[in-house]
Amino acid sequence: MAEKLPFGEGALINRSPLFCGLNYQFWKDGSSIEKPWSQWTDAENKKVKFVCIAKNIITSALNFDEFFRISQCASAKEMWALEVTHEGTNDVKRAKKHTLIKEYEMFRKLKGEPIVEVQKRFTHIVNHLMSLGNIFDKEELNIKILKCLDRSWQPKVTAIS
């Protein structure tokens, strides 16, 4: 029986979750050794073994579109070209972060929007900010969500506060 990892659906020792272009932050590593295998030390043999395992995990965890992006890569490190594709350069990350911070600061419940959709939008913004390094404590998030609600929620906001 395969041991389960704490990463969610499909994340077993022998089967990674499928990568479809979202949540790239859960990925990163790779290297190569450039000398004849007969001269490798035990540490280098071990490292190459792990790189092969990493390549296998990466390729088996991709859908077809993502697989074809990296199918010609010779090493696990080269496969991390997915990083630039899905996270962008540091400038792109910085721009995304500023945009998400602005969205977070301006977040409001839309007129007629069900509370479930409010929570889904809010969680989406917060999760993306956290993946870019922002840290929130629960109290801050609770206060923010309560402040974004319209007047029809005022009695409930007062009771919760």
- Per-residue pLDDT of the chain in tens (161 residues, 90 and over written 9): 444 444 444 443 344 555 666 555 544 453 444 677 678 788 888 887 887 888 888 888 888 888 877 877 777 778 877 777 777 777 888 888 999 999 999 999 998 899 899 999 999 999 999 988 889 999 999 889 888 888 888 888 778 87
User: Three-state DSSP class for 95?
Assistant: helix
Q: Answer yes or no: is 14 within a domain.
A: no
Q: Answer yes or no: is 17 within a domain.
A: no
Do 94 and 82 fall within a single domain? no
Q: Answer yes or no: is 7 within a domain.
A: no
Do 150 and 109 fall within a single domain? yes
H helices of the chain, where?
Answer: 42-60, 64-70, 76-79, 81-86, 90-105, 115-131, 138-147, 154-160
Do 63 and 113 fall within a single domain? no
Do 95 and 156 fall within a single domain? yes
Q: Answer yes or no: is 43 within a domain.
A: yes
Do 81 and 105 fall within a single domain? no
Domain count, the chain: 2
pTM recorded for the entire structure: 0.50
Residue 106: domain span: 90-160
52-61: Cβ within 8 A, 24+ apart = 54/29, 54/30, 55/79, 57/16, 58/16, 58/19, 58/27, 60/15, 60/16, 61/15, 61/16, 61/17, 61/18, 61/19
